[in-house]
A and B are shown apart, each in its own frame.
Chain A
Amino acid sequence: MWFRLICLLIALLISSGAECSEKEKVKKEHELLESELKLASKPNIYFIFDLENRKIYFKSRGIVLRELRIENVKLWGDTVAAKPHPLLKKSTFFKPRRSRIKKGDGSTDDEFKIDALELEDMPVHYTLYMDGGISIFIRPKSEGLFSWVCNIGYLIKRYVSRPVFTVLNTLRGKPFSAIDVVLDKKDAQALYWVFSEGSEGIINM
């Protein structure tokens, strides 16, 4: 008798736990879909940082235009709601600069020198500051001395300055979330190229 009662209780607990986690999943999907529908109803390009599945999607009208694979991701601070967050600022040490055309630079076809802003000119280490106190720090996989030096900078940021900012923002009651994303070099450059200030993105944690 007692054994049956205990078994029944355990079965009830397991099923209610499973339903809870299922409900959490469905609720999360609901919020994501609602947010995406808001963005997809405008004729703009928007971004989905699917950190759970380690993907970044460039989308418009609900269709995937391009998909980038996240090599590694680390989260810090407040959890971000799956709502549209506009990009406020892109910050990097060496901003790509546009060339100014010299008038009457009549170069013939054979001596044509290309002076343009191209994908290779884009940085690979940069921070995306989004609305709601979110900062996404993008960096490539460590390769070479420059990358090694940048990674030291990243470690100082992660273990020295970031905890201080966390305390300050907590005292002020402001949200503070930091996301470290490691991408392939070309993908990091492509994200910088496409994700312009004012564009909106959804973060799925």
Chain B
Amino acid sequence: MVKNKTFLRIIFILCGVLLFVEAIGYYIGDHKVAHATAIDKKANRKRLTDLRAENSILRSRLRSLNPDGIYIVIDTARNRLFLKYGNRTIREAIVSTGSGNILKDSDGRRKWVFDTPRGEFTVKTKYVSPSWTKPDWAFIEEDETIPKNFKDRVENGILGDYALGFGNGYFIHGTLYRRLLGRSVTHGCIRVGDEDLMAIYTAAGIGTRIYIF
């Protein structure tokens, strides 16, 4: 009976302490947001007119980083490609991007992750009726022997009518699997339908910026 009473007292005190901590924590958490301002001290000392002038310079510096002319935006989450000029969308296309799957060779020494790379890129190469030089992973995936002869790697008619390379073996190209457009099924390249591909190929030159996210 006595032990029970002591136990209850301890529980009661612990609950009281917890409630006290909770109340203080809640007060601090809620109070800080309502009352604090986090402005840089350096900016605090500057005059309003100087700050305004600096802001306008910063804005123009930011604008100068924007792409000139036509650029390509690829949304890998929705499998969409946008051909843009300034804020205007000239063309929207349904595409296929990287599957995100993993492939390992039999020794386990080499590993490939089939993601479409993200960030800023530029069109580096342009090809009409491109041939595909199959990399090692294409043979490993099919459980075939990797050929020693270069000619045995070359395959025609797989990449569609045009291809635009943006580095590290990644291309925007055509596809035989049109019904898979809109799905994430590729090994990292961006597959586009025939008509859209022709429009992109015509509009984009070498150096055209590509933004992939």
Contacts and interface: CB of A to CB of B under 8 A. Distances in A.
State the 7 A-B residue pairs at the shortest beta-carbon distance, nearest first: A163-B25, A104-B143, A117-B100, A116-B99, A43-B120, A33-B58, A166-B25
Nearest to A115: B101
Given A78-B36, A117-B99, A190-B77, A60 B211 contact: yes
Interface stretch (B8-16, B39-47, B199-207): B39-47
Taking chain B's interface residues, is the majority helix, strand, or loop, or is none over half, making it mixed?
mixed
A23 B119 contact: no
Contacts of A24: 37, 39
B181 to A, nearest CB: 12
A193 B120 contact: no
B200 to A, nearest CB: 17
A116 B100 contact: yes
Interface of A: 19, 22-24, 26-31, 33-34, 36-37, 40-41, 43-45, 58, 60-63, 65-66, 75-82, 98-101, 103-104, 106, 109, 112, 114-119, 159-160, 162-167, 170, 176, 178, 189-190, 193-194, 196, 205
Contact of B78 (A37, A100, A190): A190
Contacts of B22: 159-160, 163-164
B48 A163 contact: no
B213 interface: yes
Contact of A33 (B59, B73, B106, B209): B59
B99 A79 contact: no
B140 interface: yes
A54 to B, nearest CB: 16
Contacts of A114: 180, 183, 185
B120 A109 contact: no
Contacts of A194: 76-77, 118, 213
Given A43-B119, A78-B32, A167-B21, A103 B37 contact: no
Contacts of A196: 118
